[in-house]
Amino acid sequence: MQQEISEVKLLNDRFQKDCDKLREEASQNQLVVDSHIDKVKEKNSLLESENLEYKTQVSELHAENNNLTSKLNEVLDRIEAVMKNSEEERQSFESKMSVLKSRNEELEQEMVDLSFMRPVGCTLETETEISRLKEENGKLLLEVTELKEEISSLMTRCTESGKELSEVNDQNKNLSAELNEIKRTFDCVQENLQAKECESSELKNKNEQLSFELEEMRVIIEADRESLGSQKGKLDKNIEELEEANRALNCELCEVRKELDSVIEKSTSSASNLIKQLADLETENEQLKNQAAQIKMVSEESVSGIQENHKQHVEELTTQHRMEQDKYRQHLKELTAEQEKYRQQLEELTTQHKEEENRYRQHAEEHKTELEQYRQYVEEQTVRHNTEQEKYRQHLDKLTVQHKEEGEKYRRHVEELSVQRKEEGEKYRQHVEELSVQRKEEGEKYRQHVEELTTQHKMEQEKYKQKLEELTAQQKDKQELQHNLDSTSDTTKARIEELEKEVAKLQEEKVNIKKEELFKKLKFKEEIIKQKKSYDSLKSAYDYKEKVIKDLEDGKQDQEVYRKLRQSEQKVDELCRELEVMDKEKLVLEKSNSYKERKIKEQEEKMKNFAEGELFQAKEKAEKELRDTKVKVLVVEDELRTANKRQESYKKDMGKIETVYKDEICRLKNEVRRLQNHDVTYVEPVPPRPQIEEGGCSAHNSGAGGAVDHFANLLLEGTNKRLTNELKKCKSALQDYEKKMTDLKGEIQKQRSI
């Protein structure tokens, strides 16, 4: 028993050490969890700042796209206006050319008429002038044909330019459709950003709630630790008391063993004397010895069975403890593996975050030039942004007031919950104290019940002794009656038979009483009594016991030995009962200790699972935010690429338009130069001819020839004036067209710079 108690103590010490180690590891894990939570919060703050930067960039890009769309719309309007003006100019030019054609035809007809109307007496000078005018008219006709060809070429070019303009209009429509799609995508991005802002606010609130709950859980854990410390002290005291009781019991057991050894020695000496006296009854003794051997075997088997059961119980406890230790070690290994995995994941996340930061820095370095150009535009819109910030600050002030009110409400709720938990803890402690009082009362009642049973057992033993004395007296009377019956008649013999039947009944009652007492004293004798079915064997055993009792009554020493044996048996029975009670109390204490330790383990596992769940949730949230930011970055990069592609396509289209307009400007300039070169051959008016004195027809010649020359000069002057006016109009139109083209070039350069 002492060895078993020492082994149990060692196991309890090891178990307590393991519990202390577990608590230390749990505290270390809590510190690690707190540090990881702080790191996650820092990462969340960094991600929020990055999200704000991305939002500002997106808003800036949105503003830029709005400006670009407005400018593109203006350019499209201007192009449409230029197209309308060019069509109107072309129509006016065609009308003018038709008027010129009609006038040239009229002049040709007039020249033909004049050639037919030429008088007979015309001089050679008039003919030369007419030939010169014809040559000039021929040149003019050639120039007119050249102008017609150039006009036809211009018409073809105008049609080509119209086709190109229609293509440009189609491209502009496509660009407008793409711009509408971009607007829709930006609207979707804004909606997503608003939703993510709401999610971020919700996450902030959840983080605050989790922080409050963590603080509450820490307070509760500290209170539980204090209560566990107090319970541990109580358990230590109980264990010390049990150790003292075990020591006292061990001392008593040693004394009892010494007494038993002395009693056994005395009983061996008395048994040797009895064997010498009972040599005559060898046959009966052999039978009784066989029966006694059977009884001893059964008793030894029962005792060995109890010892084996006790040993098996101890072995089962040791195996259970070892299994629990193995499970705990496996759990520790799993926890270490999970910690290593989590560390690896954290390292991977840190490396990914660093790579993303490096990429972002490279991206920022690449876009420094664009940002410098964009800062000028940002400085213009700072005023608007400041006004929006003031509005947003007012809104934030309102939200902060609401948040403070909600925080106060939440704190009040937390205080109420803490008060409720304290009250529940006090109620639980009171309940535990009541249970302890009840257990003490039950123990006292159990002890009183044991004392009552012991008193009852003593009373029953005294009654049994009295009955034995009465039976011995009856047996003596029976012997006397048997001596008297030998001299009596048959009637007396019948009476004797009746008395024998009554004696048999009394013996049966006596055997039944003994059976009941034996059932009460020793439970393991039930199997022996059940096997004794034959009444003859019981009767022989009873006769043998009566003889032994008679022999014991003959000698006083034998009676004292018998009494001592009975007393030693009673003491052994009482000690066995007390040991059973102690074993039961020990089992109850072990169950209570195991229950409390299970509760502690469950609470620690709950805290670990809770912390791991929070870390996992925070990790998932961080990963989701990182993925969302990556998606946003990819979307922004795709949008920038599409915008760059559209700008390049727009630049190409504008380059094509510039080349077309340059070609048209060059052609118009060449036409103007040609017209200017025609102005050099300006036809001066012909001076009047001097009068011819000789000849009779001088007056006629002078009158008719002078009128024709004057009329021709007037016609030529009119044509020259008209041609000069038309050239001036063409020059003014070309100048207006050049101004428009310069304006378009300036706008294109501005857009390229943007």
Q: Which amino acid is at 46?
A: L
Whole-number Å distance between alpha carbons of 692 and 698: 6
Give the 3-state secondary structure of 350-409.
HHHHHHHHHHHHHHHHHCHHHHHHHHHHHHHCHHHHHHHHHHHHHHHHHHHHHHHHHHHH
Residues 6 or more apart from 26 whose CB is under 8 A from it? 604, 607, 608
The CA-atom distances, in angstroms, between 490 and each of 166, 482, 486, 493, 496 are 159, 13, 10, 5, 9
Whole-number Å distance between alpha carbons of 432 and 436: 6
The helix (run of H) or strand (run of E) holding residue 681 is: none
Q: Taking a C-beta distance cutoff of 8 angstroms, is the pair 285, 274 a contact?
A: no
* Pair of tokens at residue 716: 């030529």
Whole-number Å distance between alpha carbons of 466 and 510: 12
The CA-atom distances, in angstroms, between 334 and each of 290, 328, 339, 604 are 63, 10, 9, 16
Q: What is the DSSP string of 445-475?
A: HHHHHHHHHHHHHHHHHHHHHHHHHHHHHHH
The CA-atom distances, in angstroms, between 245 and each of 5, 447, 718 are 12, 15, 150
Whole-number Å distance between alpha carbons of 162 and 82: 12
Quick check: helix, strand or coil at residue 683? coil
Q: What is the DSSP string of 521-577?
A: H-GGGHHHHHH---HHHHHHHHHHHHHHHHHHHH-HHHHHHHHHHHHHHHHHHHHHH
Closest CA to 152 of 83, 84, 97: 97
Q: Sign of the C-alpha dihedral, residues 710, 711, 715, 718?
A: positive
Whole-number Å distance between alpha carbons of 274 and 110: 189
| Cβ-based burial of 183 (10 A; exposed 0-12, middle 13-18, buried ≥19) | middle
Quick check: helix, strand or coil at residue 80? helix
* Secondary structure letter of residue 689 according to DSSP: P
Residues 6 or more apart from 239 whose CB is under 8 A from it? 9, 12
pTM exceeds 0.95, yes or no: no
Q: Which amino acid is at 740?
A: K
The CA-atom distances, in angstroms, between 671 and each of 121, 137, 148, 660, 687 are 44, 20, 12, 17, 33
Tally of CB atoms within 10 A around 165? 20
Buried b (16+ CB within 10 A) or exposed e, 199-232: ebeebeeebeeeeeebeeeeeebeebeeebeeee
Residue owning tokens 């196991």: 11
Cα dihedral 57, 62, 63, 64, rounded to 10, equals 90
* Pair of tokens at residue 560: 């004292």
* Secondary structure letter of residue 684 according to DSSP: P
Tell me the average confidence (pLDDT) per consecutive run of 10 residues in the chain, 754 residues long: 67 70 73 75 76 74 73 70 68 70 67 53 58 69 69 67 68 70 70 71 70 70 69 69 70 68 63 58 62 63 63 71 73 73 72 70 66 65 69 72 74 77 76 75 73 74 73 71 58 60 65 60 53 52 56 53 60 65 66 65 68 67 69 67 66 66 68 61 40 38 46 55 62 62 63 57
Residue owning tokens 């009784």: 288
Whole-number Å distance between alpha carbons of 50 and 200: 13
* Secondary structure letter of residue 104 according to DSSP: H
Closest CA to 57 of 376, 378, 354: 378
Whole-number Å distance between alpha carbons of 544 and 560: 20
Whole-number Å distance between alpha carbons of 601 and 608: 10
Q: Taking a C-beta distance cutoff of 8 angstroms, is the pair 656, 121 a contact?
A: no
* Pair of tokens at residue 149: 């060809």
Whole-number Å distance between alpha carbons of 676 and 572: 150
Every domain of the chain and the residues it spans? 703-754
Q: What is the DSSP string of 190-231?
A: HHHHHHHHHHHHHHHHHHHHHHHHHHHHHHHHHHHHHHHHHH
* Pair of tokens at residue 529: 């009594």
pLDDT of residue 219: 75
Residues 6 or more apart from 69 whose CB is under 8 A from it? 179, 183
Whole-number Å distance between alpha carbons of 34 and 214: 10
Whole-number Å distance between alpha carbons of 167 and 163: 6
Whole-number Å distance between alpha carbons of 388 and 639: 26
Terminal Cα-to-Cα distance of the chain (whole angstroms): 97
Closest CA to 328 of 10, 320, 232, 29: 320
Residues 6 or more apart from 62 whose CB is under 8 A from it? 186, 190
